[in-house]
Amino acid sequence: AIVHGILEVFTNYFALLDSSQRDQLTGLFNRYSLESNLDRLWSMLSANMHASDSESDLRINDPRTYWLCILDVDHFKKINQNFGHMIGDEVLIMVTRLLQSALRKSDLLYRYGGEEFVAIIAADDLAAAIEAFDRCRIRIEQFDFPQVGHVTISGGFSNADPSVLPQEIMNRTDSALYAAKDAGRNRIYHYATLVEEGVLQQVETGSIDLF
């Protein structure tokens, strides 16, 4: 009876812990969970980048690059205004399912807040990252949403550089997202490419001292 009681306490504890990290509408991990995972991911990437040859057994067995993307449902406020919040919620749930179907099981997807989602993926290079994120965009663009019709998303993404603070990477992706919206929406832009083209000006706000 004592053991059963202890197990029940731990079961309830972990259920509450999981609940606090998940969005109630979509079931995705939430912003709090994202912020916690970013710190762990950056520590992992930094350790992998600076591991010496003698520490090769501690390296992550994954040579790919990680990419972080903010995805935003276009004109979502109009959807709520024209069809009501219940239909708006249904759109968010369907967008979640479509994003999950476009991404791999190993990719991470979060509801960042409102109509914004964050995806973190591993890809061999920029071309592979573009293909993955554009697959998400196309999957949603081609879907016929009940009552609403067609919905689109815009996005901005950046390389998850472990030498740069996670918040700066979020700022970069957010800048690329707004550039995508300013350019007409229904597109996904890469931050570094926009900087190279002169569309955005890079402003460094901080970096991680790894030595």
The residues annotated as belonging to the active site are 115
Residue with tokens 């501690």: 58
Tokens standing for residue 23? 């969005």
Tokens standing for residue 196? 């190279």
Which residue stretches of the chain are H helix? 2-20, 31-50, 76-83, 85-102, 126-141, 166-182, 191-196
Tokens standing for residue 93? 């749930």
Taking each helix axis from N to C end, the angle separating 85-102 and 76-83, rounded to the nearest 10 degrees, works out to 140
CA dihedral sign of residues 45, 50, 51, 53: positive
CA dihedral sign of residues 46, 32, 120, 206: negative
Tokens standing for residue 49? 């980048």
Residue with tokens 């490419």: 193
